[in-house]
Amino acid sequence: MNVNIIHVGNLKESYYKEAVAEYEKRLSRFCKVRNVEIKEEKLPERPNQSEIAAALAAEGKRIISAIPEKSYRIALCVEGEACSSEELAAVINDCNSDVTFVIGGSYGLSDEVKKRCDKRISVSKMTFPHRLMRVILAEQIYRAFMINSGGEYHK
């Protein structure tokens, strides 16, 4: 199985890079992970709603062009369905294709991207930096594969 992670922006901090690399190394026994970095739109320090909407639309076009055709697509977004680790494991286990996760930038995802996805999930009611979400998602994907394999990582 291939797991694609499409994300807006890069990981600047070494501690995020190291954490993601560790989980991807652990995942290598279960799947192939492919990260696709989408360029983050530059916005003024205090953008207005119109500027934010334009940035989301531009990022959205790049995201949509990066989503593989034959893949189950999952958007991570605040209005998505709450999802436990066990539920995520079941979603991954039930996929008959590759899985693609989409993480937006600081202002989220465009409506067009969300419409193109098969499922929307919310990791938490709390707000996290989108760069930290890459670490959280990598850990949760690893946890899902461990649950599905009967491993002891998930207690």
CATH number at residue 122: 3.40.1280.10
Query: What percent of the chain is predicted at pLDDT more than 90?
Result: 89
Asked whether residue 124 is assigned to any structural domain, the reply reads yes
Domain that holds residue 8: 2-43+50-149
Instruction: Count Cβ atoms within 10 A of the Cβ of residue 98 and give its class: 0-12 exposed, 13-18 middle, 19 or more buried.
Output: middle
Whole-prediction pTM value? 0.94
Length of the chain (residues):
155
Q: What total of structural domains would you count in the chain?
A: 1
The pLDDT of residue 3 is 98
User: What whole-number percentage of the chain has pLDDT above 70?
Assistant: 99
* pLDDT of the residue at 54: 98
Residue 56 lies in a domain: yes
Please give the Cα distance from 151 to 148 (Å, whole number): 8
User: Could you tell me the pLDDT band of residue 20, with boundaries at 50, 70 and 90?
Assistant: very high
| pLDDT at residue 155, rounded to an integer | 65
**Can you give the pLDDT at residue 1?**
93
Residue 138 in any domain: the answer is yes
- Rounded CA separation 73/114 (Å): 9
Residue 155 lies in a domain: no
Task: Please tell me the predicted confidence (pLDDT) of residue 153.
Answer: 82
The C-alpha angle 75, 78, 83, rounded to 5 degrees, equals 70
Rounded to 5 degrees, φ, ψ at 99 are: -120, 135
26 falls within a domain: yes
Residue 75: inside a domain? yes
